[in-house]
Structure 1
Amino acid sequence: MILLGTLVNAIAIIAGALLGRLLSGIPESIRKTVMQGIGLAIVLLGIKMSLETQNFLLVILSIVIGSILGELIGIESGLNKLGQWLESKMGGRSQGSIATGFVTTTLVYCIGAMAVLGAMDSGLRNNHEILYTKAMLDGFSAIIFSSTLGIGVLFSAVPVFLYQGAIALLSTQIYNFVSQETLDAMLVEVTAVGGLMIIAIGINILELKKINVANMLPALVIAAIGVPIVRWLAVWFG
């Protein structure tokens, strides 16, 4: 079953979020310190990911072009509106903002090497080990996020399932379009661009500055497309 790993991942997030609600009585000072620690860890993870790039110029171009496209499309605004709609259906804010919890954790769980690589491994080899590992990590982090950001974390399981599921299904056809070498290079640059977004998410959690991370999401696609284009240009003009 190609989508088994993705399904397990989504269920782990839901279970973690529900368990985190039981810890909602944690004092505000503790919640704040925990979130600061998570923010710092996320920044460190993003730095590690972004340093993997083999083409720094491509990373910059991907972020610039992707951000422009994201702003024009209004991805951040759309996610926030969806979160606010969920808030209205849940009867307002119980603890934290549902929109904030939903958007923050959706980005954290969807942007990253494990989400892409795990989903592709499920599609290409029907191997779910990476996503099982990601499910464990996401489940534990969902407990912390839910206890601090609220029940909005639970709803991030839906976009995670759709995102990883789409990658898993599309990856079954990927070798019809690119070679293994090109695919490996694409994953490196997508991971690097995703790393910059992870850093931005950490900055948001630390409340240092509000960055519209969701509007940068098209940069992942630009980075993936950019690798074969750069290789083609190198052949013709190199």
Structure 2
Amino acid sequence: MFTGTGTLVNASTVLLGGTLGVLIGHRLPVRVRSRVTDALGLVTLLIAGTSAIAVTDGSLSDAVGDSAPMLIVLGALATGAIVGSLLRLEDRIEGLGDYLQRRFTGSAASAEGADAVAEDARTRFIQGFLISSLVFCVGPLTILGSITEGIGSGADQLLLKSALDGFAAIAFAATFGWGVVASVVTLVVVQGSLTALGAVLGDFVPDAHLAALTATGGLLLVGVALRLLEIKQVKVGDLLPALLIAPVLVEVVTWFR
């Protein structure tokens, strides 16, 4: 298989699953779609927990000391929140979703007539795009799978992720509609970039750095789960810089040890 196969297959399963979800979603009562969203929130919380536990990874403790991993994740999230808020990343992601909604479904929305209906369709599209982009692109399989494929170790992890994302896309699209399908744009950009990064880095990706990144990503997924469960609308988009800051902090702490 050529490099990039995993991302290509992943994008295809999201497109297929999202389209299928849109086609069957309108047949389901609102109550059923709401329960499906709750189920997705709980599963996302489970995935988040299995990712966040990477903060206890032995390679991370060996690199930075036993007491530092939690502080590194805290520092990454706090600093990431400041940077992301100043850059208004969540607003920019929503803006991209709004652009895609007008680009691909604008005429359909206006044909529905009432402004309230059109606004509801717009909101659902943007929410579907934002939440799906975060779920499909923040998890450990995205990061590790893309880098692993880039360094030439195969696309097995991304192929597994493709199957999981395909089923998730069906459920998401049944509730949020075409915004889930549009999240393929984000998926291709993020995973493609990580695969290219893996190809540049070769096989030198320290386990400690990946553990910090994975743990931080797990906490971001907690924020996504809270949104799905309608507990708190966490601005997860503004926290995304934490994913870049976490491995940098690991490197800094390692220098001073």
Q: Would you say 1:191 and 2:218 are equivalent positions?
A: no
For 2:182, the equivalent position in structure 1 comes to 155
Q: Would you say 1:231 and 2:232 are equivalent positions?
A: no
Q: What 5-or-longer segments of structure 2 have no aligned partner?
A: 57-68, 110-117
Cα 1:175–1:2, aligned 2, differ >3 Å: closer, same or farther? closer
Q: Would you say 1:87 and 2:85 are equivalent positions?
A: no
Rounded Cα–Cα distance in structure 1 between residues aligned with 2:233 and 2:196: 34
- TM-score if structure 1 supplies the norm length? 0.92
Q: How many pairs does the alignment contain?
A: 230
Cα 1:141–1:96, aligned 2, differ >3 Å: closer, same or farther? farther
Aligned partner of 1:172 among 187, 191, 199: 199
Q: Contact 2:124–2:179 (CA<8 Å) still a contact in 1?
A: yes
For 1:203, the equivalent position in structure 2 comes to 226
For 1:78, the equivalent position in structure 2 comes to 92
Q: Contact 1:80–1:103 (CA<8 Å) still a contact in 2?
A: yes
1:87 shift after superposition: 2.2
Aligned partner of 1:122 among 149, 164, 170: 149
Rounded Cα–Cα distance in structure 2 between residues aligned with 1:102 and 1:12: 16
Aligned partner of 2:40 among 27, 38, 42: 38
Please report the RMSD computed on the Cα atoms of aligned residues, expressed in angstroms: 1.5
- Identity over aligned pairs, percent: 33
SS in 1 for 2:154: coil
1:107 shift after superposition: 0.3
1:201 shift after superposition: 0.2
Q: Would you say 1:221 and 2:244 are equivalent positions?
A: yes
Q: Contact 1:39–1:205 (CA<8 Å) still a contact in 2?
A: yes
1:192 shift after superposition: 0.5
Which letter maps to 1:4? T
Rounded Cα–Cα distance in structure 2 between residues aligned with 1:3 and 1:59: 30
Q: Which runs of 4+ in 1 moved over 6 A?
A: none
SS in 2 for 1:53: helix
Q: Contact 2:151–2:202 (CA<8 Å) still a contact in 1?
A: no
Which letter maps to 2:164? L
- TM-score if structure 2 supplies the norm length? 0.86
For 2:55, the equivalent position in structure 1 comes to 53
Which letter maps to 2:31? S
SS in 2 for 1:211: coil
